[in-house]
Amino acid sequence: MESSSLVILNDALAKVIYTSTVYHIHTGDLACFQFENHEAVFPITIKQPQLPVLHDMGTDISSHVTIATKTFLRYPQLKVLLSSIRRFYSNIEVIIADDSFEPEHITGEHIRQYLMPPAQGWFAGRNLAVSQVTTKYFLWVDDDFLSTGNTKVEKLVEVMEAVPELDVGQPRTFRGHAVQRVGFDPKLQRVAHSEFFMDGLGSLLVATCDHVSIDHQPKTGNNKDNAHYSRFRNPGNSDVEFKLQLHVFKNHLKCVRYGYMTTRGHWVTYFRLIS
């Protein structure tokens, strides 16, 4: 492309279209333009543009949020949780991932129960439950949680909407596509709490919302599966050792320091990594 007139050249450059003839994901090219002693070089990234994830955001909270949980041998606790949710949110969708040995079918409107092979573990169940979420956000709850008047899901959504770059708001409200991007490592079956946040370092922005809370159910001894459940819930040192070995291998960690702090009387885990 040549011209002795800068005006004509600029008009011609405004109509230039770049088309790559060989496509390979995340490659680049350089477009060079020269006029007399002036040269301009434009770097071009060759990739398919990522389209935004669109959601039908209705006016009701049930169109914004899905509640997800994983259960294993704790149906009495699960039923208490569901009852407490329905006290405040009658139409919100609840997804249950269940890897119990003898599954008990949970019925009711706006409840979806997905049965897994037995004893697959907490993170495998989380992956299954999250994969079925179609709303923009989901609230993760353990099966022994208890929804109260302070469990204001709407307030968590307000925070997430006000800060679009936020991926996780504690207590445990997640932006669905962000969590699926990180995922839950199914190698961790029994001992896994902070590991998701370690995997999300550099990818997830997390905030603590101390104006919203959810309770734990009081412990009872009348569950016939308690003894059986405890054997899986407290598997011994081998699982802990495997978890630490996995951190060293996967997360390149040299040191991790765990600690605890409370917000409004509820314990949350924090950690500091030295890699």
Domain boundaries, the chain: 6-46, 61-237
Q: For the chain, what's the residue count?
A: 275
Consecutive H or E run containing 160: helix 153-162
Specify whether the CB–CB gap between 127 and 196 falls below 8 A.
Answer: no
| 260 — pLDDT class (breaks 50, 70, 90) | low
pLDDT digits (tens, 9 = 90+) for 13-48: 888 888 888 778 888 889 888 877 888 898 988 887
pLDDT, residue 148, reads: 95
pLDDT digits (tens, 9 = 90+) for 202-236: 889 998 888 999 999 988 765 555 777 777 777 77
Q: State mean pLDDT over 68-77.
A: 95
Cβ-based neighbours of 66, under 8 Å, separated by 6 or more: 92, 93, 94, 95, 133, 134, 135, 137, 138, 139
Top-confidence residue, 69 or 210 = 69
pLDDT, residue 267, reads: 46
Own/partner pairs for 133-136, CB < 8 Å, 24+ apart? Answer: 133/66, 133/68, 133/95, 133/176, 134/66, 135/55, 135/63, 135/64, 135/65, 135/66, 135/93, 135/176, 136/53, 136/55, 136/57, 136/64, 136/65, 136/175, 136/176
Q: What is the value of pTM for the model shown? A: 0.79
pLDDT, residue 129, reads: 96
Cβ-based neighbours of 18, under 8 Å, separated by 6 or more: 29, 31, 44
Q: Which of these, 90, 203, 219, lies nearest to 144 by C-alpha position?
A: 219
Amino acid letter for position 226:
N
Range 61-237 has CATH code 3.90.550.10: yes
**Above 80 in pLDDT, residue 273?**
no
